[in-house]
């Protein structure tokens, strides 16, 4: 009897424990630590949002966020020391991984690095090449700046490197000539101080690094894969929220974390982060192995990493693909068996065909041998031609054309880098769509019923209309209006996916159809499919516009460089408008603050030498821009006077003093500072115009200077 009572009590205790255990395990939270790489500021807004808005708590995590006052130094050791540790880092993770620290990058926040090099505007440093011998402060672990300098032919040994004090006053008060920092934060300090600066980004040289990311250790991932995945998803939700609620998160940072920086500075930092994070064009946390390989290649060029290091295990994959190797092997074996059987039958039944094939192969081999000999002869001819071109290039280095290209190199690089950067970014998004989303989009569409297909086509046709993109405050205002208008509809929650997708797909432009779309049980899938297609379509539009802009610059450069034989004689027929427009296209970057007034008359054809005339226009336009300090009005007039075509170039600069008007066409006479001109430009222009039977004069002008060129009028 006592034994039965004891067993009954034991069973009761066991059942109670089994019943309570799941409740305890479900309600418990796991303690983890996030180490920031710098002080509390908007740079880490997503982590604060994930904590304060309860995203971490929702997945069972209690996250302690710790700021650093010494940068990334030491946080990698802390993260790999024990489980439950996470960190916010940068591209130095690749170096740390190679040095033996088992770090794993979980997601990238900044798609482009904010690292730049600041110079004082109008200082003795006017270009990146003026840094040689100057005092420079470089931030530790900002290797993309070092790579940028090296690509421009500047080694660290060429600089006077000073210890970085992280104090903008060092540049403002002239204790240093160049200062590395972030375009998101230091730019505010200089702007607030009224200190004009020029910022050079490594992206100008094609060095496009990732910016901030977050990471953990291999041990954490191995022991707690679910916790890592939960931390990553909650973090990305936090970043999505933070990039859509700048003011709210700025208030939270200022009130709960640090009042070191003003709210104005935090909001400035948020706005500067938008083009770097690209929360609209790129999925939050997205990272491409190709970009990491690009970073590896740059480190290899700096001698900091071996080439093509193994990235396996370094880049976290939240959804690893299923292993289908056994299916591939089985399929390959089946195909091999069928192929062998078919080959045996084919050889048995087609011996004659085989002989014919051998004969054809022999003939083809002879043809290929003869072609190979011809290619060798052609190759030798190309080698000789290349040698001749190389010698010609050495002679051209002293010519006026290459001198002009040297002056305009930075402007043309900017004109090309901007559209090419847009093309590369959009291409990454298209690649992600084709690789990761297209199959899912197609599969989803095929499962729509007839009514849902009508809804899908309605939303798609509206989404593909060429409408301007909405962002920022306008988007938030529209969300509130839609939420208020459809408050009776559960799906139109202010922070829900439906409301966001209604705006992204453009469905809000046809409000009378919104309820019709939302009536479907698969409304979210319909909107998601259209949003994916719209993103790809938008990327295509960006590539189209950027390609056209780059083509325009290259076409102008080609027109300037390439001359046909009939245009190089002194009596060739020249279209003055076309040639001057080509020159203005080359100077487009230098005309940002200049108003160009064009008064082209109906008669714009003359006789002359195209190349020589282009050098005249370049010299006169460049002199005018220099006289105006690249700000003001530049007027170009083409008019006819009797048998002449007169071209006048008028600037709004300081003009030419009466005391030197008789000397400006003299050789070696110049008013420019030493090193900026030899005084031969106007003398050479005058001689070239005289050779073509024309004349050049300085005419009186109410303001600035007016140079006029008379050329022989040509009539068709």
Question: What are the structure tokens assigned to 34, written together?
Answer: 């996030």
pTM score, two decimals? 0.46
- Whether 275 and 337 map to the same domain: the answer is no
Q: What's the number of domains the chain is made of?
A: 4
Q: Are 522 and 448 in contact (CB under 8 A)?
A: yes
Tell me if 35 is assigned to some domain: yes
Question: What are the structure tokens assigned to 384, written together?
Answer: 């000789």
- Whether 555 and 478 map to the same domain: the answer is yes
Q: Residue 418: is its pLDDT beyond 80?
A: no
Question: What are the structure tokens assigned to 250, written together?
Answer: 């700025």
List the domain range (segments joined by +) for residue 149. Answer: 116-205
Question: What are the structure tokens assigned to 544, written together?
Answer: 């189209």
Outline where DSSP puts E strands in 526-652: 572-575, 594-600, 605-608, 632-641, 644-651
Q: How far apart are CA 184 and CA 38, in angstroms?
A: 14
- Please tell me the predicted confidence (pLDDT) of residue 506: 81
Q: How far apart are CA 607 and CA 630, in angstroms?
A: 31
Tell me if 18 is assigned to some domain: no
- Please tell me the predicted confidence (pLDDT) of residue 455: 86
Q: Residue 108: is its pLDDT beyond 90?
A: yes
Tell me if 527 is assigned to some domain: yes
- Whether 385 and 530 map to the same domain: the answer is yes
**What H or E segment, with its residue span, contains residue 671?**
none
Could you read off the pLDDT of 676-693 as tens digits, one per residue? 555 667 888 888 888 888
Q: How far apart are CA 354 and CA 369, in angstroms?
A: 22
Domain boundary, last residue among 185, 205, 225: 205
Could you read off the pLDDT of 44-89 as tens digits, one per residue? 999 999 999 999 999 999 999 999 877 777 899 999 999 989 999 9
Torsion angle of alpha carbons 572, 578, 581, 586, nearest 10°?
-60
- Whether 511 and 580 map to the same domain: the answer is no
Domain boundary, last residue among 539, 562, 585: 562
What percent of the chain stands above pLDDT 90? 25
- Whether 184 and 221 map to the same domain: the answer is no
Strand partners, 64: 33
Q: How far apart are CA 330 and CA 332, in angstroms?
A: 5
Tell me if 16 is assigned to some domain: no
Q: Are 93 and 105 in contact (CB under 8 A)?
A: yes
**Buried b vs exposed e over 351-371: b needs ≥16 C-beta within 10 Å?**
eeeeeeeeeeeeeeeeeeeee
Q: How far apart are CA 89 and CA 76, in angstroms?
A: 9
Question: What are the structure tokens assigned to 569, written together?
Answer: 């004689």
- Please tell me the predicted confidence (pLDDT) of residue 302: 82
Could you read off the pLDDT of 115-155 as tens digits, one per residue? 999 888 877 777 788 888 889 998 877 778 888 888 888 88
Could you read off the pLDDT of 266-325 as tens digits, one per residue? 999 999 999 999 888 889 999 999 899 989 998 888 888 899 898 889 999 888 766 556
Domain boundary, last residue among 147, 180, 205: 205
CA-to-CA dists, residue 474 to 480, 481, 532, angstroms: 10, 11, 22
Mean model confidence pLDDT for the chain: 81
Q: How far apart are CA 472 and CA 590, in angstroms?
A: 31
Half-sphere exposure of 173 (CA within 13 A, CB side): 5
Q: How far apart are CA 33 and CA 78, in angstroms?
A: 10
Tell me if 196 is assigned to some domain: yes
* Three-class DSSP category at 1: coil
**What H or E segment, with its residue span, contains residue 117?**
strand 115-120
- Please tell me the predicted confidence (pLDDT) of residue 17: 45
Highest mean pLDDT among 362-371, 389-398, 419-428, 707-716: 707-716
- Whether 286 and 353 map to the same domain: the answer is no
Tell me if 11 is assigned to some domain: no
Rounded to a whole number, what is the largest CA-CA distance in the chain? 134
Higher pLDDT pick, 435 / 567: 435
- Whether 61 and 150 map to the same domain: the answer is no
- Whether 365 and 230 map to the same domain: the answer is no
Mean pLDDT of 357-385: 78
Weakest-pLDDT range from 377-391, 498-512, 526-540, 617-631: 377-391
- Whether 81 and 173 map to the same domain: the answer is no
- Whether 406 and 270 map to the same domain: the answer is no
């Amino acid at each position: 009897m006592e034994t039965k009572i004891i067993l009954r009590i034991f069973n009761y205790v066991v059942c109670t424990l089994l019943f309570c255990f799941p409740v305890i395990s479900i309600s418990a939270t796991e303690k983890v630590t996030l180490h920031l790489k710098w002080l509390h500021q908007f740079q880490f807004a997503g982590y604060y949002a994930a904590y304060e808005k309860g995203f971490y708590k929702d997945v069972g995590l209690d996250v302690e966020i710790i700021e650093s006052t010494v940068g990334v130094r030491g946080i990698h050791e802390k993260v790999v020391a024990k489980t439950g540790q996470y960190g916010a880092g940068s591209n130095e993770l690749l170096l740390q991984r190679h040095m033996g620290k088992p770090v794993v990058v979980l997601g990238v926040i900044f798609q482009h690095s904010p690292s730049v090099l600041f110079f004082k505007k109008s200082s003795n440093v006017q270009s990146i090449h003026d840094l040689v011998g100057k005092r420079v402060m470089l931030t530790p672990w900002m290797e993309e700046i070092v790579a940028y300098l090296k690509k421009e032919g500047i080694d660290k040994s060429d600089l006077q490197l000073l210890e970085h004090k992280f104090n903008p006053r060092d540049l403002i008060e002239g204790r240093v000539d160049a200062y590395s920092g972030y375009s998101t934060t230091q730019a505010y300090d200089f702007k607030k101080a009224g200190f004009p600066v020029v910022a050079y980004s490594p992206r100008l040289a094609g060095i496009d690094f990732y910016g901030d990311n977050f990471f953990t250790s291999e041990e954490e991932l191995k022991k707690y894969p679910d916790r890592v995945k939960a931390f990553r998803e909650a973090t990305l939700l936090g970043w999505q929220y933070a990039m859509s609620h700048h003011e709210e998160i700025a208030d939270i940072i200022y009130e709960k974390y640090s009042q070191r920086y003003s709210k104005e500075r935090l909001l400035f930092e948020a706005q500067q982060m938008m083009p770097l994070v690209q929360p609209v064009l790129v999925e939050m946390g997205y990272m491409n192995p190709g970009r990491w390989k690009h970073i590896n290649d740059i480190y290899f060029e700096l001698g900091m990493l071996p080439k093509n290091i193994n990235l396996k295990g370094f880049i976290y994959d939240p959804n690893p693909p299923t292993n289908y190797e056994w299916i591939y092997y089985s399929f390959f074996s089946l195909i091999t068996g069928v192929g062998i059987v078919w080959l045996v039958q084919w050889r048995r039944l087609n011996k004659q065909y085989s002989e014919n094939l051998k004969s054809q192969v022999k003939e083809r081999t002879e043809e290929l041998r003869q072609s190979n000999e011809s290619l060798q002869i052609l190759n030798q001819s190309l080698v000789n031609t290349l040698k001749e071109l190389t010698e010609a290039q050495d002679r051209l280095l002293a010519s006026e054309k290459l001198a002009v290209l040297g002056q305009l190199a930075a402007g043309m690089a900017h004109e090309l880098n901007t559209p090419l950067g847009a093309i590369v970014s959009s291409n990454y998004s298209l690649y992600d769509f084709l690789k990761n989303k297209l199959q899912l989009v197609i599969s989803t569409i095929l499962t729509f019923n007839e009514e849902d297909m009508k809804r899908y086509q309605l939303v798609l046709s509206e989404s593909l209309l060429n409408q301007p993109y909405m962002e920022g405050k306008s988007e938030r205002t529209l969300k509130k209006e839609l939420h208020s208008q459809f408050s009776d509809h559960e799906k139109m929650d202010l922070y829900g996916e439906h409301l966001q997708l209604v705006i992204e797909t453009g469905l809000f432009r046809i409000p009378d159809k919104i309820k019709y779309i939302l009536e479907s049980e698969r409304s979210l899938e319909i909107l998601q499919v259209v949003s994916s297609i719209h993103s790809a379509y938008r990327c295509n539009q960006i590539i189209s516009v950027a390609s056209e802009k780059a083509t325009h610059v290259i076409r102008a450069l080609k027109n300037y460089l390439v001359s046909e034989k009939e245009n190089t004689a002194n009596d060739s027929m020249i279209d003055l408008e076309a040639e001057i427009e080509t020159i203005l296209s080359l100077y487009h970057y230098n005309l940002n603050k200049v108003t160009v007034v064009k008064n082209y008359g109906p008669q714009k054809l003359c006789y002359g030498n195209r190349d020589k005339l282009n050098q005249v226009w370049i010299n006169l336009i460049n002199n005018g821009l220099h006289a105006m300090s690249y700000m003001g009005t530049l007027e170009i007039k083409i008019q006819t006077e009797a048998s002449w075509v007169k071209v006048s170039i008028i600037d709004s600069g300081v003009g030419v003093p009466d005391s030197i008007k008789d000397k400006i066409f003299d050789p070696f006479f110049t008013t420019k500072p030493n090193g900026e001109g030899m005084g031969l430009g106007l003398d050479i222009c005058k001689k070239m115009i005289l050779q073509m039977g024309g004349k050049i004069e300085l005419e009186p002008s109410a303001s600035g200077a007016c140079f006029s060129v008379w050329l022989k009028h040509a009539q068709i």
